[in-house]
Structure 1
């Protein structure tokens, strides 16, 4: 029996370090590139490290080091002037190393990297969540639940999910994909980097079997100003955004920004209204020796209608007859949208600190804090005489009275920090060691209240609607269950990056040892006579996590790499019990290998990687309704395949991108199954799942993006195909493949007055009007009765419930910087 736990799960996320280099050898050839780009609007390169794009003059593969450049310099100037008899000034766009309209970047890391940069982000609707921005990554099927960015969505990646990923924001853990819209506004996101199947030992994450998705937020501008935009679109969408920049304050090296957005929209399916308020704040302090202090904070508040997720039958009824499965506008209906509301506040803080102690020694400290509070309400049927409910005055509640049940998050808190000391031992080796600590505590309640007379759910704290039962001594006991689940992690890590053969050979080796204590405490009170009780479970675990990556660069254009890692995922603290016998859930452990080839040419960028996963104690999520999930241990699993990325640098303003993945994932174990026989005895047996295609593991996925930008007109066309996939463990229910599509078109007007970049753009999604399922909300063991290993037939299962692609929608946006 799957243990029920909240869908609000937190996973530690990862940050990626991007490196680049340059030299004077290509300076002359870049004069042409700089002059030809002078007609275009140049970005503020003070935000980015100096980067040099590939050019035919670099084909020799020679790099001439800059004379007199100190080895400790980390940020090079944006303009390079020769000291000889003539002056040559070179201006380099930060997009010079990008291809595919911002869908791919020149990389040298010894593992697969998929980066979406600002060139692509700026073409998308401001309502886009990070899932919208990353949806064309070849390794991921990233989907959204709605068309307005008010909710998050889900991810499947290499037969795993976002619960197996490190979802990071500026080096700190964020919420899971279902609520990832709470982290940052898209205008404040500089890049999204996906490293499928790979993480670094110095990152605060253990659950990274599927890799890491890392958001990087806006760097405060050096000059005072700001930007604003206004959007209007389908489903009564309206959105306003403004960001104010302080610029550098005096000569202190301090700069900061503050942004605010407000969004309102109605549900795309059925009745319902949604509203969101969001604030981002960023601060940066630069020091002359290369040290840097950063601070980022976001606050998110929203009320939105909890979606219905249809079964296959409900979906086909909608597709063939138009009968919607969404919420009702009728107050007397048990599916009334005002009795299905999510009310939530989220506060996120990260503060990465980089301290240069000397030319050889650095220290990095990244503290973070994440706090969520709020509640979900949903109908709980009507009261009966057997419930024994009374109101706060002790008066009995009449049978047939409508009730509302809640998931009330009293506190969902993550506090943690990573500390790392780095030392350049010699010219070949950079050594580091560090410590990571995190405390995660989630206290939530499951109260029941009276429904308001108008059919809406009241606040669970509203005294007039609270329900009680009468205790043995006549006292009133709240009709409530309170659960406190959490964990504490202590982790040590150590690593070394070695470079040899003129830095052509790079070896990254590291080891992390994680020690975790996690717990669940339950207090419950229910039923006639005020039956109450308590339970407590706890568990300690340790996990060795080795990492090894090797890369060899033949020249500036050709590179091969191999990567091997170990990762583990512990069960959510509120899902410690995995079956009716009370046995504790086991940790999921993964061993991964990857080998790849990368080509960084003057026109083409390409990356081909082959991967293999061996997963033990695969943890799968089931959906049980009302924003609640369960957890199943599916035994062992194997996944292998390859990823291909291909793009070009801009050619006559055009830049295509193509991504492809082949995945062969299958289950290696039969799943335990229990049933009650005719004699009333519990029989433990197994379902036939060994050798079946793994759930949520489409064999083929492909993505295509074609971008155009001539500095005035711009736009792109994005298409994604996801192949058929199994959604039950015995394979008796499948989801067919589907295609998603989007178009963006816009125009940059010339500056006038204080408006520096007036822009108008239109974004269209699902332009073909497809009615398709995009991802299971949660998998199931089976749909139909199936033969068990003991020769008996199982009962019919519930099957899966699904996300459905929102219907055709359009957003228009006007924006400008000032």
Structure 2
């Protein structure tokens, strides 16, 4: 690995500086614990303890125990919701699930840049590797866990699966503002038994929104930084509304930046709302609403040769040139969404509890890319067209804005119940149903010689919209589960077993002339048993073992439909393998949660069949990216992960995490014209070593933290003939809290510094290939190699924010 001396020296200097702050800092007020109840902070803007995920408490995390409830008087002088009660500075909350599980709380989240998203917030946890694409963390959900990427991980938000149900992209930036995020829990390797997923072969990420405050008030924040970055945020709290038991909040934010490389930038408008009604013992209904409007200039993703030649200069063109499709205004992406989640919890009887979570999510584009199409003699599907007169003819081509106005709607409901048959035995059962429709009709809009016109009329051929794909996709999902947990030996031994069956029905049509097949279906029926056992050696020490199964239905609409282009007489993308990915995994682990530190370690093994490596590629002759799942056969992965988090000592809280991973392909890769000898090769996107060091300081007035992350080299071809270099990066937070003044509660100033060494590196693979070099297959045919493309990490950035409660 090549790491600059500046990167190492700056990281060490900041680490020493954080230790030095304590000598001159003030002392925080003491916190007094009194009895049981909910956590209440002095600030009206501070939230209660994070809400539950919406899943059944007995089957969440393989029968996770309920967290201890504590009432606090006084509290920290902070309006951001922190308590400084989580070890590791908010990176190691208490876990009891009999599986590998980590998390972050407000103690960590509130001290990160307000521009962060969920993926960037969990980058320090063991096994989690985030691929940065911008220095401020506003974009990009590219993450891997144990070699599985984000499309193989299940995402829950308030109990609902809100990732794209077809291509599985999480789009976490659309879900919630960081200021409203209560906690994030990461389950490396396996999903909950009752989780509403059919893709989570690589684990589960569960995010919860903060509960509204019982006191009326609010929270306001404004900030700015490098790259003309800005964010403005306002949350208004209703407090308890009379004697109704209802309380809620509504928040609005605006954020944006200029690209750190190349022209263009991003803007985002976001609205969050949550209202809660509570009554009786364990009865509650919440209403969660979110709206997102976002547009960003797309990033160009270089090959390794292009990165070596151009570095950060490999970008879209800043000036318009007639006939040039790389003009930045032609290459944009829009992420728009509206979501509604209604998690409900009912105590029907002393021994019977019911959880119901209906949800609705609407996600839509468009995505835009520049493309030159033939002025005459081009193709609409397989039919050749005559002459197009719109736009400007340059050397026989017309420059167009290729537009993909994808539109997707999903409604679903997840229901589970828990029946305490005896004091030591609980039986659980449930059902999940979801219905999705997806429409995607691409079109082409002419760009004129002055660089304008792409928002005008679409190009038509014989009265029909010229298009490369006219897709209509319908999906229905039904899953059923049953589970039983038994506690023995005075509740020290917990045995749990469950069985889930997932049924997924898909149907896609393509209305483009010549599409073959015009209609394609996929039906999947997968039995998924799970088993787990844990033993509480002492009140502070736990050992566990588990065996789980999971599957993933094929990814993306393109897996079921052809893609055409006016520059080709035949389809440029064919339907891919429709076989589902299936995983069998085992773990054995140990966990200590004591008065001074928390520690956990686990050994894991999993075997997969029909492993689908998610890649992306450009439609030939265009700047339009499409998902390209590649079936590489079987894969085996083994490794160990560990993390250690200390509770506050003299206001400091250190944290350490790491993972060793050995993942290999089990089969030779079928190129279509023969086999390549990939069996035994290291799996792509699977760094052998990853690790993180964190240090948090908070005395109530001065606060700060430091994170240092290391990611080992990663192969990006199945033949292991090209790899991405290892990298080291670090971030710093420094802040100061002022005293309250009248209605202004606990104002603070916070400075976030990202990539403090200004390390320039490739952060992840945007596409994988079988081989970077030409090869001879098993049949003697020549396989032409091609280079993978890469994501470029953000450079140094600084963001300063001012915030206060009221």
Structures share a fold, TM > 0.5?
Answer: yes
**SS at structure 2 position matched to 1:516:** strand
Query: 1:796 offset after TM fit, Å?
Result: 2.4
1:320-331 residue pairs with structure 2 within 5 A? 324-331=313-320
- Which shifted more, 784-793 or 723-732? 784-793
Cα separation, 1, equivalents of 2:390 and 2:402: 20
The answer to whether the Cα contact below 8 Å between 1:230 and 1:815 also exists between their aligned partners in 2 is: yes
SS in 2 for 1:126: coil
- 2:522 is aligned to 539
Distance 1:178 1:500 in 2: 39
Matched, 1:47 2:48: yes
Match of 2:609 in 1: 616
Question: Could you report, residue by residue, the CA deviation over 1:595-629 in whole angstroms, capped at 9, with x for unpaired residues?
Answer: 00001111011000000010000011222122312
Relative CO higher for 1 or 2, CA cutoff 8 Å, sep ≥ 6?
2
On the 8 A contact 1:392/1:467 being kept in 2, the answer is no
Cross-structure match for 1:548: 531
Structure 2: how far apart are the matches of 1:724 and 1:505?
41
Matched residues in 2 for 1:365 and 1:717: separation?
40
- How many residues in Structure 1 have an aligned counterpart in Structure 2? 729
Contact 2:245 2:279 in 1 (8 A): yes
Q: 264-273 or 571-580: which moved more?
A: 571-580
CA distance in 1 between partners of 2:394 and 2:188 (Å): 54
Paired position in structure 2 for 1:350: 341
Deviation of residue 429 (structure 1)? Answer: 1.0
1:265 to 257, 265, 276: 257
The alignment's TM-score, normalised by the length of structure 2, stands at 0.86
Give, in angstroms, the shift of residue 575 of structure 1: 3.6
Runs of 5+ unmatched residues, structure 2: 1-28, 35-39, 53-64, 379-384, 563-572, 619-623
- Listed one character per residue, the Cα deviations across residues 528-581 of structure 1 (whole Å, up to 9, x for unaligned) are xxx788700002110001111111001111110112110000013524359999
Tell me which moved more, 551-560 or 499-508.
499-508
Q: Which runs of 5+ in 1 are unaligned?
A: 1-30, 52-72, 81-88, 526-530, 675-683
How many Å separate the matches in 2 of 1:49 and 1:636?
Answer: 39
- C-alpha distance in structure 2 between counterparts of 1:245 and 1:436, whole Å: 33
Of 397, 400, 403 in structure 2, the residue corresponding to residue 403 of structure 1 is 400
After superposition, the C-alpha distances for 1:171-225 in whole angstroms (9 at most, x for unaligned) are 1112355632111100010111101012222111132211111111110100000
Tell me what 1:658 maps to: 656
Answering whether residue 752 of structure 2 is matched by residue 760 of structure 1, we say no
The yes-or-no answer on 1:729 pairing with 2:725 is no
1:395: how far off?
13
Match in the other structure for 1:448:
444
2 CA distance for matches of 1:436 and 1:142?
Answer: 30
Matched-pair contact (CA < 8 Å) for 2:50–2:208: no
Which runs of structure 2 are paired with 1:591-606 in the superposition (5 Å)? Answer: 591-606=584-599
What does 1:334-345 align with in structure 2 at a 5 Å threshold?
A: 334-345=325-336
User: Aligned partners of 1:298 and 1:454: how far apart in 2?
Assistant: 39
Superimposed CA distance per residue, residues 246-279 of structure 1 (whole angstroms, 9 cap, x where no aligned partner): 0010011100100000012111110003211000
- Among 390, 394, 417, the residue aligned to 1:421: 417
- Label 1:452 to 1:201 Cα distance change in 2 as closer, same or farther (>3 A): farther
**2:484 aligned to which of 496, 513, 526:** 496
Distance 1:196 1:74, change over 3 A: closer
How far off its partner does 1:708 sit? Answer: 0.2
CA distance 1:516–1:750, shift in 2 (3 Å): same
Provide the secondary structure at the position in 1 that maps to 2:783: coil
Can you list the C-alpha shifts for 1:371-394, whole angstroms capped at 9, x where unaligned? 112211111114332123666999
Deviation at 1:741, TM superposition (A): 0.8
Q: Secondary structure at the match of 2:142?
A: strand
Residue 234 of structure 1 corresponds to which residue in structure 2? 226
CA RMSD of aligned residues (A): 2.8
Matched, 1:280 2:272: yes
**Deviation of 1:668 (Å):** 0.3
Question: Structure 1 residues 158 and 533 mapped into 2: Cα distance closer, same or farther (>3 Å)?
Answer: closer
Distance 1:707 1:396, change over 3 A: closer
Contact 1:448 1:480 in 2 (8 A): no
CA contact (8 A) 1:661 1:702 kept: yes
**Aligned position for 1:361:** 352
Offset at 1:420? 1.2
- 1:101 counterpart SS class: helix
Q: Secondary structure at the match of 2:179?
A: helix
After superposition, residues 537-686 of structure 1 pair within 5 angstroms as 537-572=520-555, 574-577=557-560, 584-625=577-618, 626-674=624-672, 684-686=673-675
1:360 Cα deviation from its structure 2 partner: 0.7
TM-score (structure 1 length as normaliser): 0.85
Residue aligned with 2:241, SS: coil
Partners of 1:763 and 1:812 within 8 A in 2: yes
